[in-house]
Amino acid sequence: MSEINTNQTYSTNHAGGETNYRLPLVAMTTLFFLWGFITVLNDVLIPRLKGVFDLSYTEAMLIQFCFFSAYFIVSLPAGFLVKRFGYKNGILTGLIIGSIGCALFYPAVVVHQYWIFLGALFVLASGITILQVSANPYVAALGPTKTASSRLNLAQALNSLGTTVGPIVGSFLLFGTAGALTADAASADSVKIPYLMLAVALLAIAIIFAFLKLPDIEAHTNTDSCKAQQHKLTEAPHLMMGVVGIFCYVGAEVSIGSFLVNYFADPNIAGLEEHAAAKLIGYYWGGAMVGRFIGSALLQKIAPSKAITFNALVIIALLVISMASSGSIALWSVLAIGLFNSIMFPTIFTLSIEGLSSLTSRGSGLLCLAIVGGAIVPLIQGLVADHFHIQISFVVPVICYLYIAWFGLNVVNLSQHWQRKLV
């Protein structure tokens, strides 16, 4: 997931002239990689636990519900925590809470209760949420202001690498190298070691950060007295559309990834064994990584709103093709969606906050809360899959992308309407 720029300004106190922040920057980019890896690991965990506990699709999607609901519940408290205790302590808190969440997978396996897994995922996601609230300003501060954007792009590239590698490593750790069921098939034993390793990794990074010399970052209050302050956020139609757009996009992206293993295992699609299907998820997220590089170049020449509409329509076409076909056509058409997903989040986000001026920070916070779509949309698709068929259930993300296409067609006019109010 892309970084969120809230248009805040920060001052960095460097004692004694120029400071070399290369080591802290390496540590931060490692952190971005790790939380990308952890987040996408859910796509492999879902079919694993679905088989272990004999869950319906709806019940299995509670994994994403518990994970992404943390963004909605924890984001605002995390903001207050960072404001009160500082960004470094926020990062440390997020790492420690994330480590505890991973460690809770061990008792969940021992007790063999699905609800304990869900609780562990919520704790883990709460830590990652705090990290995301804290981390971006740190990356921006680790060097000259003029190269802050470059550093953020580097961090996001590492995040995308994590989402690409995660399913491949996860398929090996959670399913092994063979498709046949092992002695662990009736239990969740295969989950213990990977998440204990993640717990140790997060705790180790927390210890490293505790001893790193990082810049002091002071958030300055925006004292802009422009006319934007005389309006409510709900009066900015492009922002309200963007909130729904972020909800739909994150929900659709997460939902598609969550169903891929079971989708590819379906005899009507590819009939793949779970370990082989899990490895293919890397193509979905890897496409998003490649698409970010392509998109960053093309968006310099193409209007962002037109790019959103085009990509959304292509994704709708790919989903319809996948739903109406079988075999390799159904498989590769849905995997290709990752490539066109790539520019969605940052582009919807920036178009939604355009012209908000002094309301930008609050508008950004509202858009962050819309990430809860990753909790709701997979659950809805699970209900459709249970009542009809997994292939038919992809109509749910189709509806989401139809809205995004509509957003792309209308956002510029609505943004201009808002800015005319400020004249």
Q: For residues 270, 273, 279 and 283, what is the CA-based torsion angle, rounded to 10 degrees?
A: 10
Residue 216 DSSP one-character state? E
What b/e sequence results for 30-41 when a residue is b if at least 16 CB atoms lie within 10 Å of its CB, and e otherwise? ebbbbbbbbbbb
* Phi, psi values for residue 10, rounded to 5°: -135, 145
Q: 306 is written with which tokens?
A: 């037109």
What b/e sequence results for 146-165 when a residue is b if at least 16 CB atoms lie within 10 Å of its CB, and e otherwise? eebeebbbbbbbbbbbbbbb
SS3 12: strand
Residue 10 DSSP one-character state? E
CA distance 161 to 179: 26
CA distance 139 to 27: 10
Q: 52 is written with which tokens?
A: 């272990």
What is the pLDDT, as a whole number, of residue 168?
83
CA distance 69 to 82: 20
Terminal-to-terminal C-alpha distance of the chain: 35
Q: Kindly report the CATH number that applies to the domain delimited by 1-220.
A: 1.20.1250.20
Domain ranges in the chain?
A: 1-220, 224-423
What is the pLDDT, as a whole number, of residue 412?
83
What is the pLDDT, as a whole number, of residue 418?
67
Among 341, 281, 245, 271, CA closest to 42: 281
Quick one: CA dihedral 209, 210, 214, 217, positive or negative? positive
Instruction: State the DSSP string of 274-341.
Output: HHHHHHHHHHHHHHHHHHHHHHHHHTTTS-HHHHHHHHHHHHHHHHHHHHH--HHHHHHHHHTHHHHH
CA angle 265, 270, 274 (to 5 degrees): 30
What is the pLDDT, as a whole number, of residue 133?
77
- Between strands 216-219 and 10-13, the pairing is antiparallel
Q: Which fold has domain 224-423?
A: Growth Hormone; Chain: A; (1.20.1250)
What is the pLDDT, as a whole number, of residue 79?
76
What is the pLDDT, as a whole number, of residue 102?
94
**Do 278 and 44 form a contact (C-beta atoms < 8 A)?**
yes
Asked if 1-220 and 224-423 have one fold, the answer is yes
Neighbours of 351 (CB within 10 A): 24
What is the pLDDT, as a whole number, of residue 11?
42
Amino acid of residue 141: A
Q: Which residues of the chain have pLDDT under 70?
A: 1-21, 136-138, 140-154, 176-187, 214-231, 357-359, 361, 418-420, 422-423
Residue 157 DSSP one-character state? H
CA distance 211 to 10: 22
Quick one: CA dihedral 315, 319, 324, 329, positive or negative? positive
CA distance 173 to 224: 52
CA angle 147, 151, 152 (to 5 degrees): 115
Q: Which residues contact 334 (CB under 8 A, 6 or more apart)?
A: 256, 260, 263, 284, 318, 319, 322, 394
